[in-house]
Chains A and B, each alone.
Chain A
Amino acid sequence: MRSKQVVAAIGWRTPSVRHWLQHNQDKMSANMARQAMPTGAMQAFVRKETERILAACTKCGKCFEACPMTRYSPKLAGADPKAVATGVLGLLNGGEGSPEALAWASVCVRSGSCVPACQDNVDPKMMVRIARMIASGGLGGTKKIPVRDDRDYYDRVRAFAKLQLTEDEIKNWM
């Protein structure tokens, strides 16, 4: 019996039953809908964006010049902006990436100051984000930069939820 039929059969009698059914109905509907959506769309989108960026970027280095984070990496002191941009594109193109390109990807915190600095509509924030994914081994290949691995991340979130929400809220909202 579908959850919608269950709900119809017993009615929305109590808030807790209603919430439980609503919650599980969504999960079941989501499971059915998920079967219709193929996996891997994120990676496909990232590949498409990579090709777009590689075709659009003129390696002018204006994005690097606009970045407020470059001073936080000693490897970037005095770096040539055009060379750094070229190194980032090399990484996107399957290469090893220059030490400067990896350093820039490591300190990017998505300020977005690079975006209006770009005259070629590259979206350098996306460019460095993809470089970071690649350098982190996120798209396969070896890790080239340190990746923070917080093994307690989700358990910590759940623990704080237990301290801050009621059991019903956890059941129905999470």
Chain B
Amino acid sequence: MTEKIIFWYGCNVLRHGDIIHGCLEILRLLGLDARPAGGPDYCCGNGKDGNQTAADGMARRTVTRFNSMERDRLVAWCPSCHAHMIEFMGEAYTPQFDLTYLVDVLYERRDRLAALLKHPVPMRVLVHKHLGFNDKVAVNERIPALLRLIPGLEVVDDDYAAPGYMCALLSAVPAAMEDMVRETVRRIAARRADAVVTIYHQCYRELVGLEPHAGIKAFNYIQLLAQSIGLQYEDEYKAWKKAGASAGTLIGEKRVEQVGVQFFERALLPELMKRPPGLGDE
């Protein structure tokens, strides 16, 4: 019988439609009936340290909505959501579902996944790791193991793990973010890697800028699994980052108008133009 799950993708990965679509297709190919749920209406409230009344309301709403779906388990993409569910939401309210992180689902089914990985991805990659979250899910070991299932792909051994659990919170400590970028670039060169591979979307958002600004290829691990399976999802976010100030032209007038021209220019374009900190001047 097909296991019915909720695929809780979170909020910020909505910048990367190819990652969400790739995850869903991989889950389907692994025999899971995945129902996607995410965005602000399913927010975990992890970012609301400064307003616990709001965090409480969000936790209550989201746990309640998942309970009402009556699915076998909740599979999380985002490490913030996963950790917040374990540490706070699930302690405060009463989840009526099991919680698993996506990497564990893929790792549990790695034999079946390996059979799907038919297309070689000849590349030598450095996995971008963090110190945190690995106590909950052994991502720093399991992601390299999953990537090594891809024909032609080599994962270099490297012991660097950046502070934090993903790059998101480092943005509040600019010097730490700069150190992370500099050390990542240094390790890529030292290991003669062709590319850096991120585990999380937030790190991908920070490091994908290395392509246009430092000539270093960057991927998220799901993109490489999808590529080896033969799934064709375009990484538009990377294309927009490469376009920089011209991203609006690439996206197209009609789509920019859908989100509002002024809002696009004020709230989206600066992010697309942003150069990874710590690289120095161009």
Residues in A lying within 8 Å of B, measured CB to CB: 26-27, 29-30, 33-34, 37, 39-46, 68-69, 72, 106-107, 109-113, 115, 126, 129, 132-133, 136-139, 143, 147-149, 152-165, 169-170, 172-174
Known: A109-B165, A173-B38. A136 touches B50 (CB 8 A): yes
Q: Which of B227-280 contact A (CB under 8 A)?
A: 236-237, 251, 255, 258-260, 263-264, 266-268, 271
- DSSP majority for the A interface? helix
Report yes or no: A109 in contact with B163, Cβ–Cβ below 8 A: yes
Q: Could you say which residues of chain A place their CB within 8 Å of the CB of B47?
A: 153
In the bound complex, residues from chain A placing their C-beta under 8 Å from that of B91 are 45
Cβ-closest chain B residue relative to A147: B50
Question: How many Å from the CB of A76 to the closest CB on chain B?
Answer: 12
Are A111 and B60 in contact, with the CB atoms below 8 A?
no
A42 touches B41 (CB 8 A): no
Given known pairs A111-B130, A126-B87, A158-B39, the reply for A42 and B92 (CB within 8 Å) is yes
CB proximity to A under 8 Å, residues B85-101: 87-89, 91-94
Which bucket holds chain B's interface residue count? 35 or more
Which residue of chain B has the shortest Cβ distance to A105 in the bound complex? B49
* Selected contact of A138 from candidates B48, B64, B251, B267, CB within 8 Å: B48
* A33 to B68 CA separation, bound complex (whole angstroms): 8
C-alpha spacing A138/B135, complex, angstroms: 27
Note all chain A residues with C-beta closer than 8 A to B57. Answer: 39
> Does B163 contact A69, Cβ atoms closer than 8 Å?
yes
Report which residue of A33, A46, A110, A149 has the largest number of chain B beta carbons within 10 angstroms of its beta carbon: A110
In the complex, A72→B171 CA distance in Å? 12
Known contacts A33-B64, A138-B52, A155-B263; A173 and B36 CB within 8 A of each other:
yes
B68 touches A155 (CB 8 A): no
Contacts of A132 in B (CB 8 A): 49
Contacts of B65 in A (CB 8 A): 26-27, 30
Q: Are A159's CB and B93's CB within 8 A?
A: no
The segment from B105-113, B172-180, B206-214 that touches chain A is B172-180
Smallest Cβ-Cβ distance to B87: which chain A residue: A126
**Is the beta-carbon distance between A41 and B52 smaller than 8 angstroms?**
no
Q: Does B55 contact A (CB under 8 A)?
A: yes
Q: Could you list 8 further interchain pairs (A-B, Cβ under 8 angstroms) beyond the known A33-B67, A45-B91?
A: A42-B60, A42-B89, A43-B52, A110-B132, A110-B169, A112-B131, A149-B50, A153-B47
Surface stretch bound by A, among B14-22, B148-156, B184-192 = B14-22
